[in-house]
Structure 1
Amino acid sequence: MSQAYNYCNDFVKRFSYERYLSTLYAPITARPSLIALYAFACEIARIRELVNEPMPGEIRLQWWHDALSGTDHGDVMHNPVAQAIIETIEHHKLPREPFLNLISARRFDLYSDPMPTVNDLEGYCGETSSALVLLASMILSGKPADRQVSDACGHGGVAYAMSGLMQTLAWQASRHQQFIPKDVMERHGVDANVLKGNRSDDAVWAAFEELVELSRKHLDDCEEAMEGIDSSVLPAFLPVFQVELFFNEADKDSFEPLQVCGGAPHIRRMWHMWRTSRRLARLSRK
């Protein structure tokens, strides 16, 4: 799998740097499988960027669904990400259902429908992000996740995905997407047209702060669930706690939700991840 892995490694390093960094904290034998998992996630997440209409996106998602469900659909082994993730699934005996659910959830990305409710948003984040943390934990531990690990993965993945969506409101608006749920918009009286601008009004700020606080709550619940957790799974959670860097930025008076947030510099991310690794190690020993 060396050539496929090398491709995936470069791909993840480019499009999901915090996940790439986290693999450096994993045992060397687990790194190719983690990279394959994260490359798959990046590949599926980027489909909306690569198509102009929903139908080509649907075709790509169906190709991935067929590839991972074992249905013949062209020579999947010519695709390095498909080769790597199929070999990873087979090697670790990973369940295929979370992969197929992730693919199905990403169909929402292809259209311009607003997210209906907060519960729908949490479900979307769970299937597209929590599932990845769970699968990474299974790769690292070599066994199915217990209740404690599953709870931590659930909350951590939602915190990670939700905070990511709050960082990209301006980008979403440029793609005619709206991940702020309709019930939150209605509760605060948000005018959807304001989201297409570059300056937030009080209503947008209120909706933004509600969802950031919900993301913080999920991160707190994740950290609480990790007390005494199996230390082998800790690298799976390192990307999750990178959201604390976003929380710090969002707390600044100069922050503007409708401006593109470039994220922290690489060196700051590296430092924060190192500190987080030590903190989580102490937590797992309690």
Structure 2
Amino acid sequence: MEEFEFARHHRLHLDLDDHIPAFLFLLSASHFGVRMSTRTFLANRQRCILRQLPKSRHSRGLRQYATDSPQAYCRDLVRKHDYESYLVSQFYPKPKQDAYFAIKAFSVELAMVPDNVSNSMIGQMRMQFWRDAIKGISAGRPPKHPIALALHQASETANLPPYHFKRIVDARDAELQAPSHLTIDTLTSHAESTSSTVLYLLLSLLALPSSTLSHAASHLGVAHTFSKGQMVIPAEITAKHGVNQEEVFRTGPHAAGIEEAVFEFATVANDHLITAREMLNADGMGGRVPPPAIPIFLSAVPTANYLGRLEKANFNAFEPRLQLRDWKLPWQLWRSYYKRQF
């Protein structure tokens, strides 16, 4: 089985030229017969730069927490590591924004665990901390961690089901053991347990118990996971198009089959986005999002923006401009909010 050992053990990211992160391809298909060793990977450093993600502020110890309120800490974490969500926050009702940042910071914190630990055992200890934290929050005894404290305050004013938080933790824990996916179905299941579940929490935050909105949010979460700037393309797609991992590292966008694999993967993401839109049409909403739910579905705008730019780049996932922030995104968010469409 072909493995990306750096991704498995150190979670390093592949950068191009001026440290702009490219797609991280974890091609772990058993269909491939070549094993890429660390030495082989480093031999190609003239074409790529490896860096380990810097530690975030929240990894420096508990003393740092005393300088920030839990809400300010969560807001700062989201602004630094999930800027699109930070932009979307401005469209939430002011009284709900602190809770929004708490939920998003929780998601960011768990997503970054693999990048901030040296081995999966330490990562599992982090995940167990959050399982215990969720129980403590439910019992009114949150640990002295800014995100946990912020979530506790949010749960006092909104019904945030603990099982949603636990589902996210379990999915991220499983990801520590298997960071790559063999099939689209397994990646879809992971996306539903992470990105989609975050949207379920936001629906609960805004007290929107609608099955139509929940189903649409499920597809939207999958589309978001599939279209992140750092993608994990399932082995069934890479094997189908004959993508070879060593060739990807050696020649980048010129590797055989890589463009076709990216195209197929992006098409799946776009299909989920279209399905979410169609569900609003089928339910008599005329394709428009109900006003109270608009902030939640604005998360589709960065996804659609990225897929559109990827298409303009002829599905070249190594195009550096794809990793830059699009100056038009804030305007696109405002337009989507005004039209109640995504």
Band of TM-score, shorter chain? 0.7 to 0.9
Cα–Cα, structure 1 residues 110 and 259, in superposed 2: closer, same or farther, change >3 Å?
farther
Alignment check: 8 A CA contact 1:160 1:215 kept: yes
Cα–Cα, structure 1 residues 43 and 17, in superposed 2: closer, same or farther, change >3 Å?
same
**Structure 2 residue ranges without an equivalent (≥5):** 1-67
Secondary structure, aligned partner of 2:323: coil
Match 1:149 to one of 210, 213, 216? 213
Q: Distance in 1 between matches of 2:248 and 2:190?
A: 21
Cα–Cα, structure 1 residues 202 and 53, in superposed 2: closer, same or farther, change >3 Å?
same
Alignment check: 8 A CA contact 1:89 1:96 kept: no
| Alignment TM-score, normalising by the size of structure 2 | 0.72
Post-superposition offset of 1:113: 5.0
Task: Tell me which residue corresponds to 1:186.
Answer: 239
Q: Does residue 236 of the first structure (1) align with residue 296 of the second (2)? A: yes
Task: Tell me which residue corresponds to 1:175.
Answer: none
Alignment check: 8 A CA contact 1:122 1:158 kept: yes
| Alignment TM-score, normalising by the size of structure 1 | 0.85
Secondary structure, aligned partner of 1:77: coil
Task: Tell me which residue corresponds to 2:264.
Answer: 210
Alignment check: 8 A CA contact 2:81 2:108 kept: yes
Post-superposition offset of 1:233: 1.3
Post-superposition offset of 1:151: 1.0
Q: Distance in 2 between matches of 1:69 and 1:77?
A: 10
Post-superposition offset of 1:54: 0.8
Cα–Cα, structure 1 residues 48 and 242, in superposed 2: closer, same or farther, change >3 Å?
same
Between the two proteins, the alignment pairs up a number of residues equal to 265
Percent of aligned pairs with the same amino acid: 25
How much is the aligned-residue C-alpha RMSD, in angstroms?
2.3
Cα–Cα, structure 1 residues 208 and 233, in superposed 2: closer, same or farther, change >3 Å?
same
Matched ranges for 1:103-182 at <5 A: 103-111=169-177, 113-140=179-206, 142-143=207-208, 145-164=209-228, 167-169=229-231, 179-182=232-235
Post-superposition offset of 1:254: 6.3
Work out which of the two has the higher radius of gyration on C-alpha atoms and give 1 or 2: 2
Task: Tell me which residue corresponds to 2:63.
Answer: none
Post-superposition offset of 1:67: 0.7
Alignment check: 8 A CA contact 1:200 1:256 kept: no
Mean CA deviation greater in 225-234 or 55-64: 225-234
Secondary structure, aligned partner of 1:114: coil
Post-superposition offset of 1:259: 5.2
Cα–Cα, structure 1 residues 153 and 183, in superposed 2: closer, same or farther, change >3 Å?
same
Task: Tell me which residue corresponds to 2:324.
Answer: 263
Cα–Cα, structure 1 residues 88 and 194, in superposed 2: closer, same or farther, change >3 Å?
farther
Cα–Cα, structure 1 residues 217 and 13, in superposed 2: closer, same or farther, change >3 Å?
same
